[in-house]
Structure 1
Amino acid sequence: MAKVPDILGTIFIRMPTMQERSMRGFLLEGVGILAVLYLEAVITSLLAKPLPMDRLSMETLACAISKGLGEREAAELCIAGTWPLLESPQTHQLARALLPLGIITPQFIGQVLKWASSPTENLHVTGTAFISQLVCDPVIEEQKLLKAVLFLLHQRARDPNNLVQQMAARGLGNIMYSAPEQLKKHQKAILETLFQASFVPSRAEIMEEGMWALTCIFKHLGTDAGSLVEDAVVHVRSFFNHDNDGLCAVAFSFFGALAGCMRKRQAFYKRQVRQSLETLLLHLEDPNPQVAKECRTTLGLCCPYLSLRRVQAALAFHIQGSEQGKQEQLLRDICRHLASLWNMLPPGVVDR
Structure 2
Amino acid sequence: TLAELELTQAELKVAFDALPAVQREALQAAAARVRSYHEAQRKANGESWSYRDEDGTLLGQKVTPLDRVGIYVPGGKAAYPSSVLMNAIPAHVAGVGEIIMVVPTPKGEKNRLVLAAAFVAGVTRAFTIGGAQAVAALAYGTETIPKVDKITGPGNAYVAAAKRRVFGTVGIDMIAGPSEILVLADGSTPPDWVAMDLFSQAEHDELAQSILLCPDAAYIDQVQAAINRLLPEMPRRDIIAKSLNGRGALILTRNMEEACDISNRIAPEHLEVSSRDPHRWEPLLKHAGAIFLGAYTSESLGDYCAGPNHVLPTSGTARFSSPLGVYDFQKRSSLIEVSEAGAQTLGRIASILAHGEGLQAHARAAEMRLKS
TM-score, normalised on structure 2?
0.22
Judging by fraction of residues, say which structure has more strand. Answer: 2
Which structure carries more relative contact order (alpha carbon 8 Å, separation 6+)? Answer: 2
TM-score, normalised on structure 1?
0.23
